[in-house]
Amino acid sequence: MQRKIYNKLLDWKNNSLNNKPLMVLGVRQCGKTYIIEEFCKKEYKKYYTLNLLQRADIIDLYKSKKASSEKYKILKSLINFDFDEEGSILFIDEIQESEELISDLKYFCEEHNNVKIICAGSLLGVKLKRFSKSFPVGKVWRLNLYPMDFEEFLMAFNENMLIDYMKDCFINNKSMDILHDKAMYYYRNYLITGGMPESIMNMIKINNDYINYDKEIISNIIESYFDDMKKYVDSTSETLKIRRIYNSLPNQLANTSHKFQYSKIDKGAKSREYEVPLDWLLSSNMVLKVNSVKIPQKPLKGFENDDVFKLFFSDIGILNNLLEISINDILNDKLEIYKGIITENYVANQLISNNVPIYYWRSNDAEVDFLITTSDDGVIPIEVKSSDNTQAKSLKVYINKYNPNYSIKLSTKDFSYDSKNRIKNIPLYATFLIKNLAD
């Protein structure tokens, strides 16, 4: 399956000034190993995949007192692969198993800058946060890989012409016409599968026969997260706290206060008790954090309130699985009270996976779901609606107070532009295109 990160991998390869190993971070089972191996296979004459979960001898080598230069020579011999040879690349998977090898990436960068090395691993972000060795700061490039967004979902179904037409309508504010229904059909399919590649592949294999879709795929992915967690969590108490936060998220998203509250996790819970478990979830990319801003001005980062935030699941398929939403309810648009939070989580996923920094704004009487920064038009508010009823009182409050150059309204309605109120109406399925507006 095509992944948009491939172009960034090419940028890394073709940058003549780049001599740094590449580290790809992302939640477990989002497709890191697959896309890296595809890249190595297509772009290099020779490649070797080194999985540290299967090579205790290499882990022991890097724990030894030998000099880095000696370890380098022995590594080549152990895997019988000369990654110094032109046109070769080494892929080190599950690199989180060896802090010593991660630390030695500095040696690779400084002494063998002709070598191409890519690293990845499950819960690598957690490992780096709790790193006890000397991390090679400034000697490693990092890229984040997220679950597949809706554009990649359409690519998987070979709907490239639909994407192209969608882009044209986005730019020119013109109607999708009869293609709107087709795009909405795929959008609801995406709510079922989410962006996990295995889940999407299952839907492709059964040719959209929803009755035979295997919902256990996502359930097993969720459990695999917590199986991995046992390797990095210090105590049973911390494990329980991590699960409590994760399991509280559906209720947190439906919270009328529109912010994460520790009291929703457990009666009497305090922030200091849950700061470390929350950091674990964020570092693992299992949850995504969106901070509020006090004043919606550029740069938004300078006005964020780190104590007032919302948390979203990393994947919309996971949220629907945890809520035990039936496939028929998704397809027939009968999501009831959770329709709004499902839609908001979907939008957060699409924006973050396309590297759009997002925040939100709230006052005593209004809240705007998301804010983005654009180079030409400053801060732009985004209002999310889960249906075609697009009345937005909070957006009106925001517009009257801050007078943005224009606003964005996401809903199930087709593309259009309200010139009187300067509102760009975008259908939910086209959320990924907002990246073209952001800085």
Look at residue 271 and tell me if it is in a domain: yes
Look at residue 11 and tell me if it is in a domain: yes
Instruction: Return the ∠ at Cα 426 (arms to 324 and 251), rounded to 5°.
Output: 30
Q: Which domain holds residue 215?
A: 211-436
Q: Which of 144, 175, 195 is the last residue of a domain?
A: 144
Judge if 253 and 366 occupy the same domain.
Answer: yes
* Greater model confidence, 16 or 73: 73
Q: What is the DSSP string of 194-210?
A: TT-HHHHHHHHHTTT-G
**Which CATH number belongs to the domain containing residue 23 in this structure?**
3.40.50.300
Measured N-to-C along each axis, helices 56-63 and 68-79 cross at an angle, to the nearest 10 degrees, of 170
Task: Enumerate residues 6+ apart whose C-beta is below 8 A from 275.
Answer: none
Look at residue 382 and tell me if it is in a domain: yes
Judge if 223 and 138 occupy the same domain.
Answer: no
Q: How confident is the model over 311-344, as pLDDT tens digits?
A: 999 999 999 999 998 888 888 888 877 899 999 9
On whether the CB atoms of residues 383 and 407 are closer than 8 A, the answer is: yes
Question: Token pair of 109, please?
Answer: 């960068």
Look at residue 264 and tell me if it is in a domain: yes
Judge if 133 and 217 occupy the same domain.
Answer: no
Q: Give dist(CA 319, CA 193) in Å, integer.
A: 11
Q: Which of 144, 171, 193 is the last residue of a domain?
A: 144
On whether the CB atoms of residues 122 and 96 are closer than 8 A, the answer is: yes
Q: Give dist(CA 97, CA 105) in Å, integer.
A: 14
Question: Token pair of 209, please?
Answer: 């026969």
Look at residue 172 and tell me if it is in a domain: no
Judge if 400 and 278 occupy the same domain.
Answer: yes
- DSSP annotation of 414 reads P
- The reported pLDDT for the residue numbered 390 is 65
Look at residue 430 and tell me if it is in a domain: yes
pTM of structure = 0.94
**Which amino acid is located at 324 in the chain?**
E
Question: Token pair of 14, please?
Answer: 């073709």
- The reported pLDDT for the residue numbered 266 is 84
Look at residue 185 and tell me if it is in a domain: no
Q: Which residues pair with 409 in a beta bridge?
A: 383, 425
Judge if 227 and 132 occupy the same domain.
Answer: no
Judge if 260 and 396 occupy the same domain.
Answer: yes
Judge if 252 and 110 occupy the same domain.
Answer: no
User: Where does residue 306 rank: exposed (0-12), middle (13-18), buried (19+ CB within 10 A)?
Assistant: exposed
Question: Token pair of 274, please?
Answer: 């849950």
Q: How confident is the model over 20-76, as pLDDT tens digits?
A: 999 999 998 999 999 999 999 999 999 999 999 999 999 999 999 999 999 999 999
Judge if 217 and 125 occupy the same domain.
Answer: no
Q: What's the sign of the alpha-carbon dihedral 308, 347, 8, 218?
A: positive
Q: Which of 122, 144, 166 is the last residue of a domain?
A: 144
Look at residue 76 and tell me if it is in a domain: yes
Question: Token pair of 191, please?
Answer: 């709510």
Judge if 130 and 217 occupy the same domain.
Answer: no
Nearest to 341 by CA among 285, 408, 414, 258: 258
Judge if 230 and 347 occupy the same domain.
Answer: yes
Instruction: Tell me the backbone φ, ψ of residue 313, rounded to 5 degrees.
Output: -70, 150
Judge if 116 and 235 occupy the same domain.
Answer: no
Q: What is the mean pLDDT of the chain?
A: 93
Q: What is the total count of domains within the chain?
A: 2
On whether the CB atoms of residues 363 and 334 are closer than 8 A, the answer is: no
Judge if 110 and 32 occupy the same domain.
Answer: yes
